[in-house]
Amino acid sequence: MTSTSPWWHDAVVYEIYVRSFADASGDGVGDLAGIRARLDYLTGLGIDAIWLTPFYPSPMADGGYDVADHRDVDPLFGDLADFDALLAEAHARGLRLIIDIVPNHSSSAHPWFREAVAAAPGSTERDRYIFVTSGDEPPNNWQSTFGGPAWTRLPDGQWYLHLFAPEQPDFNWRRPEVPAEFLDVLRFWLDRGVDGFRIDVATGLFKEEGLPDAPPADQAFKAESPIWGRPEVHEVYREWRVLLDSYPGERMAVGEVWTDSVEDLARYLRPDELHQSFNFAWLEAPWSPASFRKVIDDTLGTVPAPTWVLSNHDVVRHRTRYAESQPGAGLARAKAAMLTTLALPGSAYLYQGDELGLPEVKDIPQELRQDPIFIRTKGELAGRDGCRVPLPWSGTAEPYGFAGEGVLPWLPQPAEWATLTVERQTGDPGSTLEFHRTALALRRRLRDSLPAGIDWLDSPDDVLTFARGSLICVLNCGTEPTPLPPHQNVLITSAPLTSALLPPDTAAWLTH
Catalytic positions, written as ranges: 200, 256
Interface positions, 453-512, toward ligand NOJ (CB under 6 A): none
For 139, residues 6+ apart whose C-beta sits below 8 A from its C-beta are 132, 151, 159, 211
Distance CA 296, CA 451 (A): 15
| 505 Rama sector, left if φ>0, alpha if ψ -120 to 50, beta otherwise | left
* Cis peptide leading into residue 399 (ω within 30°): yes
By CB under 6 A, name the one of 22, 29, 102, 295 that touches ligand NOJ: 102
CA 104 to chain centre: 17
Burial class (CB in 10 A: 0-12, 13-18, 19+), 470: middle
For 288, residues 6+ apart whose C-beta sits below 8 A from its C-beta are 477
Interface positions, 11-40, toward ligand NOJ (CB under 6 A): none
Task: Tell me the residue ranges of DSSP E strands in 129-260.
Answer: 131-132, 151-153, 159-161, 196-199, 252-255
**Cβ distance to ligand NOJ smaller for residue 146 or 393:** 146
For 340, residues 6+ apart whose C-beta sits below 8 A from its C-beta are 292, 464, 473, 475, 507
Least separation in angstroms between residue 102's CB and ligand NOJ is: 6
Of all residues in the shown chain, the one whose CB is closest to ligand NOJ is 65
Size of the site for ligand NOJ (CB under 6 A): 9
By CB under 6 A, name the one of 21, 164, 189, 322 that touches ligand NOJ: 164
Rule CB under 6 A: say whether 250 interacts with ligand NOJ.
no
Interface positions, 290-329, toward ligand NOJ (CB under 6 A): 313-314
Least separation in angstroms between residue 482's CB and ligand NOJ is: 37
Least separation in angstroms between residue 130's CB and ligand NOJ is: 16
**Cβ distance to ligand NOJ smaller for residue 142 or 393:** 142
**Cβ distance to ligand NOJ smaller for residue 219 or 465:** 219
**Cβ distance to ligand NOJ smaller for residue 58 or 340:** 58
Q: Say if CB 308 and CB 285 are below 8 A apart.
A: no
* Nearest one of 227, 240, 222 to 182, comparing CA atoms: 240
String of contacts with ligand NOJ for each residue 64-93, x by CB under 6 A: -x----------------------------
By CB under 6 A, name the one of 15, 48, 62, 398 that touches ligand NOJ: 62
**Cβ distance to ligand NOJ smaller for residue 10 or 200:** 200
CA 434 to chain centre: 23
Task: Tell me the residue ranges of DSSP E strands in 321-434.
Answer: 347-351
| Residues found near ligand NOJ in the complex (CB under 6 A) | 62, 65, 102, 164, 200-201, 256, 313-314
